[in-house]
């Protein structure tokens, strides 16, 4: 997808089409990944601008994740070629020119500044704006809603089948086309080190990215296969109302990560000899989180340990899905309290002005 340069338009003057996307990317989910996938398909090189904490706080209220965490999270999405830290909240032609980008891509929803202006107005007017489709059935608001439901719910709400009632809340419809779009399609090659990791990978977050990055560094040519457990299995060992994302959503979240080559959808909890032989696994890794025994009380990693191919990997991150949920809820409740305060203040001012008007008359 090469674009003719201004000079002569010959083969030598052709250059790659550079695409710009920007955003807060505070709670990165597969909807964001899908937007970046679509944007990357419109050109040859994708640069993603990520706003600073200060800039987001000014327009929307403080983010849940720090800018460093958000930069790392976006960089881990496989369709991103480069990130631009500290991108301005309003997308200007100056920014597009600075990064030598042909146009900017955004979802079909409007983003407004604190004073109600469309943040893409300038690039739209200049004809350097393209739109991509929003991913149906997922949004940050929807995910936060599921988390709030989870904390308000009690264990008694879990049905007799032992599954999370909240994954049923999801409006996302998985299709084979969506999996194909997200999958790498690459088979392991001779000389690749096939590494198997397993888990829930719920609300795919920076803790998961840190772990997968460390695993990726263990070999010269790693081919990482992530085994995702079915919702019911996750609920058995995580309890409460986990998982927050259902198996279909978790599949896309993990496939979007640049360190992962393949996903097993509904992997067995115990890493069996059959599984290891089938995928020709060289190494099995697990993070520093607790390993819950299988239903029969056995160690799910018994077979890889017996073969001497099991390795614990310290990601250096202590972030777990539990901590992430706590962080998001705390932020959201503070945000709501702030908004209520602000509204009460504005109401008080309006009432005071109204009283003054009435006194005049």
Closest alpha carbon to 241 in 189, 198, 200:
200
Which tens digit of pLDDT belongs to each residue from 297-348? Answer: 999 999 999 999 999 999 999 999 999 999 888 888 887 777 777 777 778 7
What pLDDT sits at residue 312? 98
Distance of CA 298 to the CA centre of its chain: 33
Which tens digit of pLDDT belongs to each residue from 127-153? Answer: 999 999 888 888 888 888 888 887 665
> 119 forms bridges with which residues in the sheet?
none
Res. 295: pLDDT tops 80: yes
**Mean pLDDT for the chain?**
89
φ, ψ of residue 204 in degrees (nearest 5): -30, 115
Indicate the pairing of strand 103-107 with strand 82-85. Answer: unpaired
Q: How many CA atoms lie within 13 A of 173 on its CB side?
A: 1
Which tens digit of pLDDT belongs to each residue from 101-110? Answer: 999 999 877 7
What pLDDT sits at residue 14? 84
Rounded mean pLDDT, 153-181 = 64
pTM for the full model? 0.86
Rounded mean pLDDT, 250-257 = 97
Rounded mean pLDDT, 164-181 = 77
**Cα gap 291→285, rounded to integer Å:** 12
**8 Å CB contact between 286 and 215:** no
Vertex 93, ends 91 and 98: CA angle to 5°?
Answer: 100
Res. 171: pLDDT tops 80: no
Closest alpha carbon to 209 in 258, 141, 264, 154:
258
Q: What percent of the chain is modeled with pLDDT above 70?
A: 90
Burial of 36 (0-12, 13-18, 19+ CB in 10 A): buried
């Amino acid at each position: 997808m090469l674009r003719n340069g201004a000079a002569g338009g010959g083969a030598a003057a052709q250059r790659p089409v550079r695409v710009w996307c920007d955003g807060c990317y505070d709670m990165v989910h597969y909807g964001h990944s899908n937007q970046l996938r679509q944007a990357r398909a419109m050109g040859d090189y994708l640069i993603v601008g990520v706003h600073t904490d200060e800039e987001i706080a000014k327009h929307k209220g403080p983010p849940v994740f720090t800018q460093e965490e958000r930069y790392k999270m976006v960089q881990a999405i496989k369709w991103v070629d480069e990130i631009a830290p500290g991108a301005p909240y309003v997308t200007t032609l100056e920014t597009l020119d600075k990064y030598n980008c042909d146009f900017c891509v955004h979802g079909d929803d409007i983003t407004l500044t604190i004073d109600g202006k469309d943040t893409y107005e300038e690039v739209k007017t200049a004809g350097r704006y393209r739109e991509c489709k929003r991913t149906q059935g997922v949004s940050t608001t929807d995910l936060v809603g599921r988390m709030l439901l989870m904390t308000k719910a009690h264990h008694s709400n879990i049905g007799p089948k032992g599954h999370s009632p909240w994954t049923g809340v999801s409006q996302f419809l998985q299709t084979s086309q969506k999996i194909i779009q997200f999958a790498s399609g690459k088979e392991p090659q001779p000389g690749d080190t096939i590494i198997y990791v397993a888990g829930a990978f719920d609300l795919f977050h920076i803790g998961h990215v840190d772990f997968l990055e460390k695993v990726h560094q263990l070999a010269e040519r790693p081919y990482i296969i992530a085994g995702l457990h079915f919702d019911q299995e996750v609920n058995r060992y995580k309890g409460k109302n986990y998982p927050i994302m259902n198996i279909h959503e978790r599949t896309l979240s993990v496939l979007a990560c640049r360190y992962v080559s393949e996903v097993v959808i509904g992997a067995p909890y115990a890493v069996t000899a059959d599984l290891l032989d089938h995928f020709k696994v060289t190494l099995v890794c697990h993070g520093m989180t607790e390993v819950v025994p299988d239903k029969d009380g056995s160690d799910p990693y018994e077979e890889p340990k017996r073969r001497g191919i099991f390795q614990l990997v310290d990601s250096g991150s202590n972030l777990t899905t539990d901590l992430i949920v706590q962080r998001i809820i705390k932020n959201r409740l503070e945000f709501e309290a702030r908004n209520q305060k602000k509204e009460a203040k504005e109401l008080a001012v309006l009432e005071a002005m109204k009283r003054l008007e009435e006194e005049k008359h």
